[in-house]
Structure 1
Amino acid sequence: MHKRNSRLMLAAVATAAAGTLLAGCAGGGGAPTTEDGKTKVIFWQQQFEDYQQAWFKEQVKEFNEQSDDVQVELLVVPADTWDQKLKAAQAAGKAPDVKTTNYGNIKPMQANGQLADLTEFMDESAFDDIAENIQPFVTVDDGVYGYPLLVEPSTVLFYRTDLFEAAGIDAPPASWDELIEDARALTSGDVLGMNIAQTAPDLGWSSWGLQYNVAGDLPLRGDWSEASADDPAYEDLALLYQTLYQEKLMPQEATYPYADCSFFGEGKVAMSACGSWALGQLSQNPDWAQVWENTNVAPFPSHNGDPTLPTSTLGGWTLTVDSKSKAQEGAAEFVEWLLADDTERLVEFFTATGFSKYPARTSVTEAVAATEEAGASPFLATITEQIVPFAKAEPAYPWDVSLAFATGIEKAMRGGDIPAAMAEAQAAIDDIIEKQKLAGAGG
């Protein structure tokens, strides 16, 4: 039994001895308890796919059945009401003890004092198992403020093997020059060579990995004192989008957002950039069976052909413990049990995703790869070995910065002068830095 379990047992006994009048409330300023003296932990989970809801529900049930001192109450909150409900709960002093939190929110929330440091409650070995390139996503100084469940690469290259063969192309492109060359060769009749994001809101997040790829960093760097959108390296990125769009190698209208791989599924494009989640979308639509049979994946090409440079960021979800929770130890116990303990529990989860999402723990990655189902997946090795290890974290700065930069990319894509568009992005980000007082907040 871990030390924290011993403490929780003593706390539960003490609470029970204090009398049933304290049950269900924060007696004496301590953690709320159930009628039988267990520490009550409220868990808010943002609503995801049906299989995820089923998995979380089953795991909470199993945890409660085996725990002597903690009882978890699960509330599933729809994504479109999440922010509103969470802010209201926080304002009323009723924030959940545990909640799902995306990587991009970890550092801003930690800076605002909203998250508990999990290293104070969980075994050190739990953190050693987090993949090396994912550890920085949840770490601030020596503290860890979220335990990761999964990662999703934001940019994977999907391509049609039958159309590649017909065009005489024997391998996916490795560089941006090859991507454009292949897109030209594949554009024929009603089929365009490529699909990629084309509106500022989609470009704002889908191009983060490509920004890293071409410039080695994002357009707001260091301590966020000044913008770097005028870095000449970004002109090559703008030129990639401009060439694909101006030569009509990609759809001219954003009928579908970037996160929706329907252009590819409907057979309208031979290649498509999309997130790993598109594997689930493509495989589950019976109308796209012929396309799916001829689908393969590869890392999105690097600007210079170097496969070790990032082309994707890793989005995904963690569980965090509220810094003001009166049940922090019980909440952390649940987090550790669910995400940092039994690998088979997580193997079940990732198998259910159809390998469209990927583990954040090294041991789980190895366990998933050893399963029979993984051996039958033609895509798992490519994504886990060639994309995930080189991907970067999403930026922690405000979304306005990403949108300002993407507005410049979109303007260039649609035919605007590239240096002028980047200069406008530079001015817009510098204005955001001043108005939102971002200088010195980064680093």
Structure 2
Amino acid sequence: MRKKYLVGFIAMLMIVSTVLSGCKGTGPEGNASQEVTADGKTVLNLWTPQWDDLSADWFKKNIDAYNKSQDDVVVKVEFIPGDAWEQKIKAAQAAGTSPDITTMNYNKIVFSAQQGTIKPLDDYVDSKIWEDLYENVNEFVSYDGKHYAYPMLLEPSSILYYRKDFFEEAGLDPDTPPKTWDEFIEYGKKLKQGKRVGLAAAGNTTELGWTHWGLQAMVGGSPVNEDWSEATINSEPFEKLLTFWSTLYKEGILPKQAPGPYTDIKPLAEGRAAMQINGSWGISELRNSYPDVLDKIGIAPVPTPDGDQDVPTASLGGWTLTIDGNSEHPQEAADFIAYLLADDPEIMIDFFKNVTKFSKFSARKSVDEALKSDPDAQNDEWRKMIAEEVVPYAVAEPIYAWDFSMSYANAVERVYLNKKNVKESLTIAEKEINEYIKVNNYEGTNPNQ
């Protein structure tokens, strides 16, 4: 770990370098960078990860349309490769060169708001745009009574995909996927055959750490209490969850050696798994890479203990747009954000329909309502199911320390890999989390409390 003095010295050098080059910074003591075109228009810089060509084309098209409608402002976009994203963002914040507008994922919003690195949008936009958001998503972008980001997309982390042809072979109704945990186990035992596994899902510690956030919410559990003062992982909800998950292994439904990474739908598509828990991004992969098997695949919410699916079955990842905390043009930046994400539903319909192939979802009620009139969306049962049965109940990715998620994941692995008693494994996790809280003075640091 770098010493804080070294970090401060490097940051100082970067800021000095920025000033000498004639560009004002956006650090704590700097001003937002100001750039003007030859014809006197104010430049707003936007940074976004480089996802794919279709997404880049969508950004360029809509930014060009916006720029043509403006007399005094021009938006410039920079696409940053995903593997360089975090490093570039941190370097810009340290150097005071952050852009006016930045994409940000949900679990960074609260801490960024608390630290003042992003501005609240409420003073610059019509309050009606917040009424258009689903209630759970409204909470994702809020801190201390204000809104600090506007959602671009939602990406549920857990959907149940299954092979209808394998259901028929096993004597199961292909139009009736399992809803309860008991049915899930029963179906899984019937579907496994030879080298084909009954279920593919998270297969290593890191994957277990983040893919089970929705499952934890499903059973009403959290590894730590609300003020982050004490571990709550050694409790009945987690006993129930670990017992269920380990049963999938004991019954041979879920293999100890995963047939592929969680983010890859290939095991299901290639017939090596009869069911698979995967994120909504699997839809895009299936439609682009495996069109020949689409009619053999069904999707559903992940089964719940009692079959009640009006509960969380997934966590929601995704991206938003935010205004830099020291931008000198927050009104202009907010105007663009509102134009792109919160105004004409057709802009976002184009994104969900033509860019993501309905594998990403809207946080806006008006967009989902408008999609009901779109023939392609209207006939897309997968989109409809996820939008109506998964997204409204899903939870935000947690903002507590990643170490807590790893303590949970290790607890799961101790049970199914090492055959550790569930209660004993959770006791170890409880000790780990309480030790982290003590060593890091973590008690009372939850910004939402």
Using the size of structure 1 for normalisation, the TM-score is 0.91
For 1:425 and 1:96, the matched residues in 2 are separated by 41
Counterpart in 2 of 1:154? 157
SS of equivalent to 1:337 = helix
Counterpart in 1 of 2:267? 263
For 1:72 and 1:401, the matched residues in 2 are separated by 40
- Tell whether 2:284 aligns with 1:280: yes
Bigger drift between 186-195 and 116-125 goes to 186-195
For 2:72 and 2:373, the matched residues in 1 are separated by 35
CA contact (8 A) 1:160 1:291 kept: no
- Name which of 411, 421, 443 aligns with 1:439: 443
Report 1:283-322 matches (<5 A).
Answer: 283-285=287-289, 288-322=290-324
CA contact (8 A) 1:405 1:426 kept: no
For 2:60 and 2:426, the matched residues in 1 are separated by 47
Counterpart in 1 of 2:224? 220
**Superposition deviation, residue 141 in structure 1:** 2.2
SS of equivalent to 1:165 = helix
Alpha-carbon distance change, 29 to 262 in structure 1, aligned in 2, over 3 angstroms: closer
* 1:20-59 deviation digits (Å, cap 9, x = unpaired): xxxx977x97854323222211100011132111111211
SS of equivalent to 1:360 = coil
SS of equivalent to 2:226 = coil
Counterpart in 1 of 2:127? 124
- Name which of 231, 235, 250 aligns with 2:239: 235
* 1:120-155 deviation digits (Å, cap 9, x = unpaired): 111111111111121000011221011001101111
Counterpart in 2 of 1:334? 336
Counterpart in 2 of 1:3? none
For 1:333 and 1:32, the matched residues in 2 are separated by 18
Counterpart in 2 of 1:15? none
Give the length in aligned residue pairs: 417
- Tell whether 2:197 aligns with 1:192: yes
Counterpart in 2 of 1:422? 426
SS of equivalent to 2:119 = coil
**What letter matches 1:306 in structure 2?**
D
CA contact (8 A) 1:180 1:244 kept: yes
Structure 1 regions of 5+ residues with no counterpart?
1-23
- Tell whether 2:365 aligns with 1:367: no
**Superposition deviation, residue 232 in structure 1:** 1.9
SS of equivalent to 1:158 = strand
**Superposition deviation, residue 332 in structure 1:** 1.1
**What letter matches 2:280 in structure 1?**
S
CA contact (8 A) 1:42 1:74 kept: yes
Alpha-carbon distance change, 51 to 251 in structure 1, aligned in 2, over 3 angstroms: farther
For 1:133 and 1:35, the matched residues in 2 are separated by 44
* 1:170-197 deviation digits (Å, cap 9, x = unpaired): 2111111110110001111232111111
- Name which of 136, 145, 161 aligns with 1:142: 145
| RMSD of aligned residue pairs (Cα, Å) | 1.8
For 1:339 and 1:236, the matched residues in 2 are separated by 40
- Name which of 349, 352, 355 aligns with 2:351: 349
- Name which of 94, 100, 121 aligns with 2:103: 100
* 1:293-323 deviation digits (Å, cap 9, x = unpaired): 2001000011221111111011111001111
SS of equivalent to 1:107 = helix
SS of equivalent to 2:223 = coil
**What letter matches 1:425 in structure 2?**
A
Alpha-carbon distance change, 167 to 255 in structure 1, aligned in 2, over 3 angstroms: closer
For 1:246 and 1:77, the matched residues in 2 are separated by 44
For 2:441 and 2:83, the matched residues in 1 are separated by 29
**Superposition deviation, residue 435 in structure 1:** 2.7
For 2:50 and 2:372, the matched residues in 1 are separated by 27
Alpha-carbon distance change, 29 to 430 in structure 1, aligned in 2, over 3 angstroms: closer
For 2:31 and 2:293, the matched residues in 1 are separated by 60
SS of equivalent to 2:110 = helix
**What letter matches 2:210 in structure 1?**
W
**What letter matches 2:40 in structure 1?**
G
CA contact (8 A) 2:101 2:323 kept: yes
CA contact (8 A) 1:239 1:413 kept: no
**Superposition deviation, residue 327 in structure 1:** 2.1
For 2:300 and 2:31, the matched residues in 1 are separated by 55
**What letter matches 1:393 in structure 2?**
A
* 1:42-90 deviation digits (Å, cap 9, x = unpaired): 1000111321111112111111111112111111011111111111111
CA contact (8 A) 2:234 2:430 kept: yes
CA contact (8 A) 1:221 1:227 kept: yes
- Tell whether 2:116 aligns with 1:113: yes
For 1:251 and 1:51, the matched residues in 2 are separated by 36
Bigger drift between 270-279 and 429-438 goes to 429-438
For 2:326 and 2:140, the matched residues in 1 are separated by 22
SS of equivalent to 2:102 = strand
Indicate the percent of aligned positions where both proteins have the same amino acid: 39
CA contact (8 A) 2:166 2:191 kept: yes
Counterpart in 1 of 2:178? 173
For 2:429 and 2:70, the matched residues in 1 are separated by 53
**Superposition deviation, residue 273 in structure 1:** 0.3
Bigger drift between 229-238 and 427-436 goes to 427-436
Counterpart in 2 of 1:21? none
Using the size of structure 2 for normalisation, the TM-score is 0.89
**Superposition deviation, residue 253 in structure 1:** 1.5
CA contact (8 A) 1:313 1:392 kept: yes
For 2:394 and 2:236, the matched residues in 1 are separated by 22
Counterpart in 2 of 1:8? none
**What letter matches 1:240 in structure 2?**
F
- Tell whether 2:57 aligns with 1:54: yes
CA contact (8 A) 1:39 1:330 kept: no
**What letter matches 2:240 in structure 1?**
D
CA contact (8 A) 1:103 1:315 kept: yes
Counterpart in 2 of 1:77? 80
